[in-house]
């Protein structure tokens, strides 16, 4: 559930939060998309 997910993030990132975690994740995909070796048939890590 969401409460358990929040507690897990607090344990793993005591000085951060879910927004920082998601921003880091999204930025990683954004940088990877700029590399030819990392391009794929999907322009986004999220399927629409």
Task: Determine the Cα angle at 35 with ends 32 and 38, to 5°.
Answer: 65
Catalytic residues: 25
**DSSP calls for 8-29:** HHHHH-TT--HHHHHHHHHHHH
Q: Which residues are annotated as a binding site for Ca(2+)?
A: 26
- Report residue 36 as tokens: 């030819």
Q: Which residues are annotated as a binding site?
A: 26
């Amino acid at each position: 559930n969401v409460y358990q997910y929040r507690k897990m993030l607090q344990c793993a990132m005591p000085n951060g939060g879910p927004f920082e975690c998601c921003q880091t994740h999204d930025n990683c995909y954004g940088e990877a998309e700029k590399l030819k070796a990392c391009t794929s048939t999907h322009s986004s890590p999220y399927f629409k």
